[in-house]
Amino acid sequence: MIDRSRPAQNYLSRIRGVPLLTEERVAKVFSLQEGLLDEPTSAGRLLVATNHRILFFRNERGYDQVSLLPVEELKGVVVDSRRTGSFAWLKGILTLVAALLLYLVVAYWLAGRVDGPGVPWLQMDLAPFIILAAALVASWLFWRHDVRRPGGRVTLQGANWGLSFAYLGAERIPEVNDVVETLFLCRQARVASLNAQPEPGTAPGNSA
């Protein structure tokens, strides 16, 4: 459900250099890294839902990219969610154990063969210390991108456009559902507003 206690962010006039339209109001701000936010960030991938548009910001290959999509053209949303299961955690634990075993084997093989500086506060040679650090970093990266990664992918389908992005962390799934519901509410309100506007050249209340 949408948290209706969060006030509309009407004070914004532009987001990352993109000016908002007349009477355009921000309904929801979602960072793919940090989740739901009270206000837009200046960096990272960001989805902003307004009563007029869907704004999606991303930083790729050294340049900024922004997609500005009319919310009334939103036709459907597909949310592919994967929750972290016990098997994923088992893989993470086994990876850590394998990394430590690899460190022990390599460190034992290096003992007495490589004469180098030591790390005084750990009472170990520098080469085994580097190997241990590399094994721990590799295990952390594996946990972040394979164990914790299950979150999912969101695909927004419009009349003649599509937008797809992935998010990290199964804890983001309720927030993603919140954003999707907000998008459809914004679409419903926008369509109703457009249908209520009189045709050009027709005075309100006049009929043929």
The better pLDDT of the pair 63, 179 is held by 179
The radius of gyration computed from the CA coordinates of the chain, to the nearest angstrom, equals: 25
CA atoms within 13 A on the CB side of 80: 10
The better pLDDT of the pair 36, 170 is held by 36
Say what the pLDDT of residue 5 is: 42
Mean pLDDT value across residues 7-22? 78
The better pLDDT of the pair 118, 133 is held by 133
End-to-end Cα distance, the chain? 44
Helix (H) or strand (E) holding 67: strand 63-70
Mean pLDDT value across residues 26-51? 92
Q: Is the pLDDT of residue 79 over 60?
A: yes
Helix (H) or strand (E) holding 175: helix 173-196
Mean pLDDT value across residues 107-132? 58
Mean pLDDT of all residues in the chain? 76
Residue range 100-109, pLDDT digits in tens: 776 667 666 6
Helix, coil or strand: residue 62 = coil
Q: In this structure, what is the dihedral angle of CA atoms 131, 134, 140, 146, given to the nearest 10 degrees?
A: -100
- Which of 1-15, 63-77, 140-154 has the weakest average pLDDT? 1-15
Q: Is the pLDDT of residue 113 over 90?
A: no
Q: 46 — phi, psi (to 5°)?
A: -140, 135
Which strands form 63-70's sheet, in the order they lie side by side? 35-37, 26-31, 46-50, 53-60, 63-70
Residue range 157-186, pLDDT digits in tens: 998 999 998 887 777 888 999 999 999 999
What's the rounded Cα separation, in Å, for the pair 23 and 6?
19
CATH of 14-82+168-192, one of 2.30.29, 3.40.50, 1.10.3470, 3.30.70: 2.30.29
Q: How is residue 148 annotated by DSSP?
A: S
Place of tokens 């009477």: 23
- Sorted by where each begins, the domain ranges of the chain are 14-82+168-192, 86-147
